[in-house]
Structure 1
Amino acid sequence: MVRVLFVCTGNTCRSPMAEKLFRQMAQEHMLAAEARSAGVAAADGTPMSKHAATVIREAGCPTEHRSRSLEQEDVDWADLILTMTQGHKRTILQMFPYTVEKVYTLQEYAWNDSEQKQMRMEWEAFMAELQTKQALGETIAPAEHERMQQLADHLRDDDIADPFGGTEEHYRIVAEEIRYAVDKLVRKLAQDAGGGAST
């Protein structure tokens, strides 16, 4: 049994859509899994946004949902924490540093690109080094600025944009992006579990 926690900002759009789609696809692939969702800045008890509910209903998923704020109990429960953006991932790592081995963006984990993973680690280490220099009042050299830009240019954008305030069509586009990533995720987990599905 794998336990997956999806995280976004308010837990009314992206992460509940991911949770519902994941449950549906896990069942289709006979993957033994549980799913939850939460938000790093959520108000507890808010229903799924109207457009998100419409789009998820069209996909054949139930729309019952109440937003939840991310708590330590959630991160301890999860085997895998998948965020919608790098910003959400950084927030979780700041709040719960011990989760470093199990928190990724949804797209980062679904695509499982080793070259991108290595580049992302290099980028994060490099940025931490530059932030330390700035905090100490040291000057960032032109070569360091150039390296920062080179890394940024080659990093894939793993963020799934927030559709909040957008049109129903905007939500549909975001839901399709999530659906595609969740499909790859479920196939990967099923294969890892010996289910025989391929990515």
Structure 2
Amino acid sequence: MTRILFVCTGNTCRSPMAEALLRKLAAERGIPLEVRSAGVSTVDGLPVSRHASEALRKRSIDHRGQSKALGTGSVKWADLVLTMTGGHKRSLLQWFPEAVDKTYTLKEYVYLHSEANGDIERLEKLYTEMHMKQALGGQLTDEERSQLLELERKIPSFDIVDPFGGSLEEYEQCAKEIEATVRKLLDKLDRRESEQD
């Protein structure tokens, strides 16, 4: 059984919605999963935001979870760690570099092996070179900087925008985006299971 951990900032909006949606949709499709969520900048025990709960209720989900701070136990437990943004992914990997092979943004994982992958790899290589050069007192060449900017424009965003503090409409829009992506995640997991059988 695959164990999936969703990660966002406070674990009161996006990751609990992703957790609850994946749990419900996987059960409906008969795909066995264990799902949890956590936050990179939170404390244990905060309630799920009122608007996130409402967006889930509109989908017939009664989610009463509480926030959980990201920790070693959660990361070790997971077979797959899916963050809501690239910033969450970078934070997580700073603390848990051993999780690099199983950590992606949700959208990055769903669209893995798409045409954007080569661009993403080139962009990550340029970022690495930039950080190395900066650490040594140097900087990117004009050509490298131009490539970096072009790739940033070309690659679609793999972030799910934080609705925190926003209107119910903003939470509803976020829930729709997460739900659509979670459905694609289930398609991918279902295909992977079929290939292993």
TM (norm. structure 2) is 0.95
Q: Tell me which residue corresponds to 2:135.
A: 135
**Equivalent pair of 2:5/2:35 in contact (CA under 8 Å):** yes
Per-residue deviation, 1:105: 0.6
**Equivalent pair of 2:107/2:159 in contact (CA under 8 Å):** yes
CA deviation string 1:57-92 (max 9, x = no partner): 111112211100001111111010000000111111
CA deviation string 1:90-120 (max 9, x = no partner): 1111111111111111111112243322221
Q: Tell me which residue corresponds to 1:107.
A: 107
Q: Tell me which residue corresponds to 1:170.
A: 170
Q: Percent identity?
A: 45
* SS in structure 2 of the partner of residue 194 of structure 1: helix
**Equivalent pair of 2:160/2:174 in contact (CA under 8 Å):** yes
Cα distance in 2 for partners of 1:9, 1:181 equals 19
- Closer, same or farther: CA 104–139 of 1 in aligned 2, 3 Å: closer
Q: Structure 2 matches for 1:50-199, cutoff 5 A?
A: 50-194=50-194
**Equivalent pair of 2:7/2:83 in contact (CA under 8 Å):** yes
**Equivalent pair of 1:29/1:190 in contact (CA under 8 Å):** no
Cα distance in 1 for partners of 2:173, 2:50 equals 15
Runs (4+) off by over 4 Å = none
Q: Structure 2 matches for 1:22-61, cutoff 5 A?
A: 22-61=22-61
Kindly provide the amino acid, as one letter, of the partner of residue 140 in structure 1: L
Q: Give the paired residue count.
A: 195
Structure 2 gaps, min length 5: none
TM (norm. structure 1) is 0.94
Cα distance in 2 for partners of 1:101, 1:133 equals 25
Across the aligned residues of Structure 1 and Structure 2, the Cα RMSD in angstroms comes to 1.2
**Equivalent pair of 1:56/1:63 in contact (CA under 8 Å):** yes
Cα distance in 2 for partners of 1:11, 1:156 equals 25
Cα distance in 1 for partners of 2:47, 2:110 equals 27
**Equivalent pair of 2:4/2:82 in contact (CA under 8 Å):** yes
Structure 1 gaps, min length 5: none
Cα distance in 1 for partners of 2:140, 2:129 equals 10
